[in-house]
Structure 1
Amino acid sequence: MYAARIPPHASLKSETISPHRKRLSTATVGSDDRFAYWLDMVCAIYAQLECDRPGSDVFGEISFSPLGVLDLTEVHSNVQFLRRTPSMICNDTRDSTLVQIQRVGRAVVRQDGREARLVPGDFVMYDTTRPYELRFEDETHELIVVRLPSSELQPHVTNLHDLTATTVPGTCAAGNLLLTMIDTLQRDIDRLHPSSAIGVSEGITSIIAAGLRGLPGANTQRSSQLCAYHVARVKAYAMDNLRNPELSISKIACAMRVSPDHLSRLFRGEPVPLSRWIWQQRLDACRRDLCDARMANRSVSEIAFAWGFNDATHFSRSFREQFGLSPREWRQKSGYPARGRPTQPVVPEVD
């Protein structure tokens, strides 16, 4: 078993294979260096891992494309076992959800005491904040891995931690739809307009969530119909007043004619508390505006203040915590720098 450090990205030389896609491959280094290079590749793209060296010469290739908040990656390799340990999590605190779609070969994913077995077409979700193991049963394998912030799925699935390492079959509607959508996207991603990337990434997230909600262990704590009705009313009121910087729990409670404590009880069955849900909706609205060509002449601060934020520094910090990039970096990535003309989308560099 070999463990990799968190690699210096400068050691990885990516190849541009299209305007929106890059590739890392062990074929770019000598045979003696390929195993170490493969470790650096997976650690840079996903999380710090350790793995077994295969009996034959190591082969590994990862192509990757940014898509809104998602990273869409395709893996071809003959490395058959990878593991993320507690000590690695202490050294590498990345908080991501990984959704693995099996394309060729069979795989086993273990996390949280569960074991998922995958055949081509199936997908599974696991989390980088807790230990996991990946085992591939065939000599070579191919898979798609969608990497996204865990916060993207939490509003859609109430008990996400109970659904790791659980197979979503490719034969179900969500599994089949996800694979079809990913195949189409990979074929046409270079024709995707930057301002459409957010909508497409949200669509992929929704399909993943739909597949997870169809699992037997999903949403085990269901709200009553009356509670769900009141939650929907509260969310509708909050959305209608999202731009108001004075929107607060107490103001919502007053408008709904209930106590703040009652509001808190209503949201106990929701993925996040009401205050955090409002915060997420505001950040999502700002994120969409930063990618909107019609907003190219508005500054980051103007967009933030238009959606109820009243402190530019706090907004920038919150945005980075939520999406992993500053608002200006996000805008540059989408192709619309502040108060300027659209530019070509920026694909994050590994090298």
Structure 2
Amino acid sequence: MPINRILTTRELAPRKRSVAWCDWIATLFDGLQSDLGERATFDGRLRTVQAGDVRFTRLEADRHRVIRQDTPPRDDGTGFLKIVAPWEGSAAIEQGGRRAWVQPGGWAIYDTTESYEVVNPTPTDHLIVMLPKGPLLAGGLPLGALMGQNVGGASGMSRIALEAMRNTFEELPRMTPTSSGRAGDLILEMVRLALLERVGEHPPANQMAAFKRRIREFIAQRLRDPHLSIGGIAAALHCSKRHLHNAFADEDLTIAHYILRARLEACMRDLGSPVHAGRTVTDIALSWGFNSAAHFSRVFHEHVGSSPSDFRRACLAGLRGPDRPAAAAAAATEPMPAGDRHPGVAAG
């Protein structure tokens, strides 16, 4: 049978209830902190059931808040997302600078691998659903843009998913292990479809294309950062490094080579422009994220076919235009050899 656990403060002496509740929440939700205010006593009840990889908890409690702080983002696609769906009361969820207010008939979602805060300003009766993060990352679903958001519940797929979560929670104690596992998989799929509906993305190809655009936009905004890395991009976009690489699987360029090419092209523009004639080659290279003049010169020669200084002299002498000379541009777009690591493109 699925896990069926009930914890209630009513079986404890009043002076022990607050401490017990904080311990239960920390244990059940991986170290989550509770703030019960200045209450002399506290009443709460937790009932937890499991459906495959999906865990349901009915939380009935006095007003309180929970906080997760200083949590380093994970870039491996592991961890859980959490849904709060009130039967009674309300909740304010804050994560990543976004704040969502959810009431009965709706549900909101947030990422437990990052810092967040949930405030329950009145006595609550909430359904809490924990879902593995990995399956929802598949297909380019932009989870980062959805975290700390009120997904809905009044209509469409979000309503179907809400009703399915509530009904599954009620029926799980009467299901076989096989049926409960399948029910968990079904909930995952319904939540995925509801999130897709929320962002307006349906065909998988469109999802991946949109995700690839987000990657490129992120890289463009931080191209000058010498610490730009695959791991840092994955953390910022709330996905695994493998998922980043998969987004570029249908192209000749790896992400590392895409970053390298973008930096080389930026350096070529500056080297060939009279506006930057007073700047040194080293200054231009470092300004675009390369971390060594010697390494920059080697990489530039490998991909462009001349030294940065010779390229600059030729451009400024008018022998070839400054805007991506044809031969140099062609060389810069050739794929990087497998496993090659270049300056300014960290591997982590």
Question: What interval of TM-score do these two structures reach, taking the shorter chain for normalisation?
Answer: 0.5 to 0.7
In the alignment, is residue 21 of structure 1 matched against residue 23 of structure 2?
no
Normalised by the size of structure 1, how large is the TM-score? 0.54
Instruction: Give the AA of the match of 1:71.
Output: R
In the alignment, what sits opposite 2:194? 211
Q: Is the 8 A contact 2:85 2:105 kept in 1?
A: yes
Q: 1:173 is matched with which residue: 156, 165, 174?
A: 156
Counterpart secondary structure, 1:142: strand
Alignment of 1:20-59 (within 5 A): 20-54=3-37, 55=39, 57-59=41-43
- 8 Å contact from structure 2 (residues 127, 166) kept in 1: no
- The answer (yes or no) to whether the contact 1:168–1:175 under 8 Å persists in 2 is yes
Structure 2 residue 185 is matched with structure 1 residue 199 = no
Query: In structure 2, what is the equivalent of residue 83 of structure 1?
Result: 67
Give 1:102 shift: 1.7
Partner in structure 2 of residue 118 of structure 1: 102
CA distance in 2, matches of 1:178, 1:225: 21
Whether 1:152 and 2:135 are equivalent positions in the alignment is: yes
- In the alignment, which residue of structure 2 is the partner of 1:129? 113
For residues 213 and 38 of structure 1, do their structure 2 counterparts lie closer, same or farther at Cα, with a shift above 3 Å needed?
Answer: same
1:74 offset after TM fit, Å? 0.7
Q: CA deviation at 1:262?
A: 7.7
Letter paired with 2:90: R
Contact 1:23 1:64 in 2 (8 A): yes
Query: Per-residue displacement from partner, 1:117-157 (whole Å, max 9, x unpaired)?
Result: 1010211111121100001122x011111112211211155
Q: Percent identity?
A: 19
Q: CA deviation at 1:53?
A: 2.2
Structure-2 residue corresponding to 1:243 = none
- The answer to whether residue 147 in structure 2 is matched with residue 161 in structure 1 is no
Distance 1:261 1:170, change over 3 A: closer
Q: CA, structure 1 residues 172+265, in 2 after alignment: closer, same or farther (shift >3 Å)?
A: farther
In the alignment, the residues of structure 1 paired with residue 15 and residue 99 of structure 2 have an alpha-carbon distance, to the nearest angstrom, of 34
Change beyond 3 A, Cα 1:264–1:165:
same
Residue identity in the other structure for 1:206? E
Query: Which runs of no fewer than 5 residues in structure 2 stay unpaired?
Result: 211-245, 256-348
1:66 alignment partner in structure 2:
50
Alpha carbons of 1:224 and 1:59: their partners in 2 closer, same or farther (altered >3 Å)? closer
Q: Under a length normalisation based on structure 2, what TM-score does the superposition of the two structures give?
A: 0.55
Q: What runs of 5+ residues in structure 1 fail to find an aligned partner?
A: 1-17, 229-259, 270-351
Structure 1, 33-42 or 150-159: larger mean CA deviation: 150-159
* Deviations 1:274-314, CA, capped at 9 Å, x for gaps: xxxxxxxxxxxxxxxxxxxxxxxxxxxxxxxxxxxxxxxxx
SS at match of 1:40: helix
Q: Structure 2 CA distance, aligned partners of 1:78 and 1:172?
A: 30
SS of the residue aligned with 1:265? Answer: coil
Query: Match of 1:154, SS?
Result: helix
Pairing partner for 1:105 from 73, 84, 89 = 89
What is the distance in 2 between the residues matched to 1:27 and 1:204?
Answer: 32
Contact 1:157–1:213 (8 Å) recurs in 2? no
CA distance in 2, matches of 1:52, 1:121: 26
Q: How does 1:248-287 map to 2 (within 5 A)?
A: 263-265=249-251
Deviations 1:72-107 (A, max 9, x none): 1110011421111106989xxx82211111211121
Count of matched residue pairs: 216
Shift of 1:182: 2.6
C-alpha deviation, 1:227, in angstroms: 7.9
- Inter-CA distance 44–226: structure 2 relative to 1 (3 Å threshold): closer
Q: Indicate if the aligned counterparts of 2:52 and 2:180 stay in contact, CA closer than 8 A.
A: yes
In 2 relative to 1, CA 268–42 (structure 1 residues): closer, same or farther, beyond 3 Å?
Answer: farther
